[in-house]
């Protein structure tokens, strides 16, 4: 099989895993929080963190390895070719938001959710972190969605 097509196929699979998970995870977390049901929220919070490690990180690794691999295989300078550079930096920016803000917020929310008690209301800190997660989650999702433009149209 053609190495380019194999790497491209794996790259697209990585994009599907990555984008699919960040979009669906955001949806399910917001829907779980809207129930205000402590058991549903705690379960969803654990799953958000778990699916990020499995699917988001798995997709990220596939995208990076296959994208950079294909550029190296074909001796393309992904810093000088406009569509590759935009794709790379948008992806990096999204990753920085995920690592620096979203993941720590998710972990804090998961720790808070573990301590939910039947008698006490959900702590305000959980909701405050949730708002932060939504704002930066939307941003971290829009950046790689913009990459679809660069991937498909490859403007010069």
Instruction: Provide the token pair at 123.
Output: 């702590």
d(CA 111, CA 121): 15
The sign of the CA dihedral 124, 125, 128, 130 is: negative
Task: Give me the pLDDT at residue 156, please.
Answer: 73
**Which residues lie closer than 8 Å to 84 by C-beta, 6 or more apart?**
71, 76, 77, 78, 150
pTM across the whole model: 0.90
Q: Are 7 and 70 in contact (CB under 8 A)?
A: yes
d(CA 48, CA 67): 26
Task: Give me the pLDDT at residue 63, please.
Answer: 97
Task: Give me the pLDDT at residue 113, please.
Answer: 95
Average confidence (pLDDT) per 10 residues, the chain, 156 residues: 92 97 96 97 94 94 96 92 94 96 95 94 97 97 94 88
């Amino acid at each position: 099989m053609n190495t380019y097509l194999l790497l491209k196929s794996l790259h697209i699979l990585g994009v599907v895993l990555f984008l699919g998970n960040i979009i669906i995870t955001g949806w399910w977390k917001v829907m779980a929080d809207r129930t205000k049901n402590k058991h549903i929220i705690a379960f969803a919070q654990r799953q958000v963190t778990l699916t990020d490690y499995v699917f988001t990180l798995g997709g990220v690794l596939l995208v990076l390895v296959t994208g950079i691999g294909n550029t190296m295989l074909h001796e393309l300078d992904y810093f000088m070719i406009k569509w590759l550079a935009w794709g790379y930096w948008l992806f990096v920016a999204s990753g920085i938001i995920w690592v620096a803000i979203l993941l720590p917020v998710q972990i804090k929310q998961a720790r808070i959710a573990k301590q939910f008690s039947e008698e006490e209301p959900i702590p305000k800190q959980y909701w405050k972190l949730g708002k932060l997660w939504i704002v930066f989650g939307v941003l971290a999702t829009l950046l790689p969605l913009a990459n679809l433009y660069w991937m498909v149209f490859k403007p010069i």
